[in-house]
Structure 1
Amino acid sequence: MAATGDEAAAMDSISKAPAPPTELNLTAEPENSREATTSDTTENQKPKRPSNNNDGGVETAEEATEPAEPDINELCRDMFDKMSVFLQGELTATCEDYKLLENMNKLTSLKYMEMKDISINISRNLQDLNQKYASLQPYLDQINQIEEQVTALEQAAYKLDTYSKKLEAKFKKLEKR
């Protein structure tokens, strides 16, 4: 027995699947447009009661329908929105990591340049000190010679002091006699 009238319309609305979107929009939609889409799909999927036929006392049973599945397009949009947010977060974190590495490399480069400048200054100062030491070397040699001469003179003075004490002792011995 073929369905007629309202029963046929109810079966047609159940068997028809929504058309896939022609354009995929990954941006978030305003809330009111989602509500409108949801309300349209739920209205189309409500089972309609068959009209009373005058078949004489025969009761008609309502067709058993499966619970309405959520709108696939809405779920896809929601998934793509969430994936978009996730990927943007991941890319932002990666970009921030690269910026941090870039700043660290720049600071390290500046530190190495400072260290290079310091080492160049130390090298120059060391060369200046070596030149000054070389120019002072003859004077240092003279100081060493004078020190040797003073040491020799000091030894001669000790010998002279010892000899004078011996002489004094002899002279006193001679005077006593």
Structure 2
Amino acid sequence: MIVGVKMAAAGEEAAALDSVRVAAPPAVLNLRTDTDQREDLGHDGSSENVGPAPKKPTNNNDGGVETAEEATEPAEPDINELCRDMFDKMAVFLQGELTATCEDYKLLENMNKLTSLKYMEMKDISINISRNLQDLNQKYASLQPYLDQINQIEEQVTALEQAAYKLDTYSKKLEAKFKKLEKR
């Protein structure tokens, strides 16, 4: 129900306040008198022109405040039918919301399963890599004595090479002395 509210104001404020409407609570009292209602129904009591009651000027001096009157609305369809319709629509809405939520949870469950499978695959791969690394470390450990021998042989070859250079240098000096002695 809508109740018109009018207050005493000056100028533009009065015009703006005239158009203000406030929603009335469901248990609004009918402030109109029996004579007002009879006038709305017509002189013979029929309800041909039922509508909002015209405002009557007040003769009391209460600072320009007018009284509020209840606005009448046309008869509404059966309340029970409207309630059933509302509850049916609310049930459909809630069912849709719950279905969407269930679908979201199913999606999350599937994503979690796939993630779990991926982690299992990664775990298997890392276990294989670890095994292969251990095998490589064992092979390297078994080859280590041979690598040490290769390093020793390389050092010996380097030492022999240095000795060969020294011997070559010494033999050249001897040859030069021998040629000197021969020429004499």
User: Which 4+ residue blocks in structure 1 deviate beyond 4 angstroms?
Assistant: none
Aligned-pair Cα RMSD in Å = 1.8
Is 1:62 the counterpart of 2:49? The answer is no
Matches within 5 A, 1:1-177: 60-63=44-47, 67-177=74-184
TM-score by length of 1: 0.62
Paired residue total: 119
Higher relative contact order (CA 8 A, sep 6+): 1
Q: CA deviation at 1:60?
A: 4.3
In the alignment, the residues of structure 1 paired with residue 74 and residue 147 of structure 2 have an alpha-carbon distance, to the nearest angstrom, of 108
Q: Partner amino acid for 2:85?
A: D
TM-score by length of 2: 0.60
Q: CA deviation at 1:175?
A: 2.3
Structure 2 residues without counterparts, runs of 5 or longer: 1-42, 51-72
Query: Aligned to 1:160, what secondary structure does the other structure show?
Result: helix
Q: Partner amino acid for 2:117?
A: L
Q: Which has the higher helix share?
A: 1
Query: Aligned to 1:68, what secondary structure does the other structure show?
Result: coil
Q: Partner amino acid for 2:90?
A: M
Q: CA deviation at 1:155?
A: 0.6
Give identity over the alignment, percent.
93
Give the match for residue 25 of structure 1: none
Q: CA deviation at 1:170?
A: 1.1
